[in-house]
Structure 1
Amino acid sequence: MTPPNHKLKARNVLYAVVLACLNVCASQAEQIRVVTEELAPYNMTLNGQLTGMSTEVVQAVLKEVNVDATIQSMPWARAYDLALHDPNVLIYSITRTPEREHLFKWVGTIATSRWYIYSSASHPVSLMDLDDARDWQTATVNEDVGEQYLIGKRFAVGQQLQPSNRYELNYQKLRTGHVDLWISDELNATWLARQAGDDPERTLVRSLRVPELEDSGGFNMAFSAGTADATVALFKKGLKTIRENGTYDAIARKWN
């Protein structure tokens, strides 16, 4: 039985609307800028290519949503500033904290993380709680979550905190005694120690765990606030799909 004319017209209008929405989503997604930092083994440049667990997850999501975007690695403070102020910027690996919650549009978790304040085995520092760290110099990275966390706890840059632009510089500062402590993600700390030819179990001391930085579940993908909700929804769906079809687990096994 042939549907009445008005039903055909309504159906055609619906199809046109859906197609238009999909085209808008694709157009918005194609214009995005993807930024990150050198945070091995999550995101790092090896032999001129950006790789790492988080990078592979982001690349898998981009493929799933059929978006061709170049990922740029830069100092974290610059990437963070771009994501804060420019529209259509996707940033990873970023920790989701209460202070950041309303600054970005969150896609989802792409890697777990554990955070510690480390000291050197050659100069171990015993910390019962965070207040004990106030008597020591701590290495941080400009604008990263470790530095923001300590500033939020009333640690001062230039006094207790000694920032750098690169994580490997902080390991070297700890190793050579230029600082007493270093706040870092565990995988990053052990990776950098091994890259320097050291055994992390012999050179690094976990002086204090920082569980507050782990409450978010780990590192995330997030869009700048000026990004269209439709684009964010598209990437959320893409991340959900690669988790459900086994792609995410395959990437995680490779890097863990």
Structure 2
Amino acid sequence: MFKLMSQLSLTGLLLLPAMLLQANPIRVVTEYRGFYQLQNNDGSLGGYATEVVQALFAITGDTPLFEINSWGRSFHEASSNNNVLIYSLSLNPERAELFDCVAELNKEQLFFWALKGNIKQPLNVLDDLRHYRIAVSIASNPDQYLTGQGFTRLFRTSTPEYALSMLYKNRVDMIISVEKPINNQVEQLGYDVSQLSKVFQLEELNHPLCIAFNRNSDAALRERYRQAFASLQQNGTLAQIRKRWQLDHH
């Protein structure tokens, strides 16, 4: 009997590390951004992307430790520290070398926006935009791309809301955003949505919006979240969340 109990105890001890690996606190870094990451009335973090992240954690059993930073800070934390989850990350080719996308939240269509009547000349190619003042979030996908293209009149802001304020105060000529988040942000800031106009779209800026870990993160951890996302897709949970946020299925 004692031998059997010893064997059972040993088996339990052997299983314990595996169980602990399946239930870890995970740092989660993000920013407030349109309808993806919203501050709820009670101060908690909500939004479409946040709901997907929370659904993933419900499956993995891990505990999310949310941190709301500027995008530049969140990007630095996730790229510099292993096993830190970041969302919502636009996965451009440069970032794909650093990050593993474990869940695709959306396919973004980014537009350049201006106030109606402020852009007099037709904008046909990217070079037509070089002499305009463009506000971009620090370390954002548009910031990285336009910097790489040699744009020099970029005004880097810590938040999308600050960029919007600069646009409405005529301190910049253009900002870059997805349509749904920008409408939400304009209304929250009390500006007139009808003054906004899409003036240009650049396909090179359209990338999958992801939940990701850096590529040096634990491979088993990354795979666990990839499988959790596959479960959300298969059991209909993702479709329900997308419908609630009025997003088309993909």
TM-score by length of structure 1 reads: 0.85
The whole-number CA distance in structure 2 between the counterparts of 1:59 and 1:173 is 33
User: What is the distance in 1 between the residues matched to 2:220 and 2:190?
Assistant: 46
Paired with 1:208 and 1:196, the residues of 2 have a C-alpha distance of: 23
1:69 equivalenced with 2:59 (yes/no): no
CA separation of 1:232 and 1:148: change in aligned 2, threshold 3 A? same
1:132 alignment partner AA: D
Deviation, 1:55, is: 0.5
Deviates more, 1:125-134 or 1:226-235: 125-134
User: Quick check: 1:25–1:234 contact (8 Å CA) kept in 2?
Assistant: no
Contact persistence 1:137–1:162 (CA under 8 A): yes
1:226: how far off? 2.9
Counterpart in 1 of 2:5?
A: none
Percent of pairs identical after alignment?
28
Structure 1: gaps of 5 or more residues = 1-14
Q: Equivalents in 1 of 2:60, 2:84: separation in Å?
A: 16
CA contact (8 A) 1:146 1:184 kept: no
- Aligned-residue CA RMSD in angstroms? 2.1
- In structure 2, the partner of 1:38 is 32
Task: Measure how far apart 1:210 and its partner are.
Answer: 2.0
Matched residues in 1 for 2:226 and 2:55: separation? 12
Partner of 1:7 in structure 2?
none
**Deviation beyond 6 Å, 4+ runs, structure 1:** none
1:189 corresponds in structure 2 to 182
1:32-111 to 2 correspondence within 5 Å?
32-47=26-41, 48-111=43-106
CA contact (8 A) 1:25 1:230 kept: no
Q: What TM-score do you get using the length of structure 2 for normalisation?
A: 0.87
Deviation at 1:23, TM superposition (A): 3.1
What is the count of residue pairs matched by the alignment? 234
Structure 2 unmatched runs, 5+ = 1-10
User: Residue 223 of structure 1: CA displacement?
Assistant: 0.4
Return the offset for 1:224. Answer: 2.1
- Other-structure match for 1:238: 228
Where 2:119 maps in the other structure, the secondary structure is: coil
Q: Describe the superposition over 1:114-165 as per-residue Cα deviations: whole angstroms up to 9, x where unpaired.
A: 1011111142353111111101100101001111111121113xxx100110
Quick check: 1:204 aligned with 2:196? Answer: yes
Cα deviation digits, residues 171-220 of structure 1 (max 9, x gap): 111111100111122222111122233453x2111111122222x3x310
Residues 34-69 of structure 1 show CA distances to partners (whole Å, capped at 9, x for unaligned) of 010111110121221100000000000011111111
User: d(CA) in 2 for partners of 1:171 and 1:248?
Assistant: 30
Matched, 1:152 2:148: yes
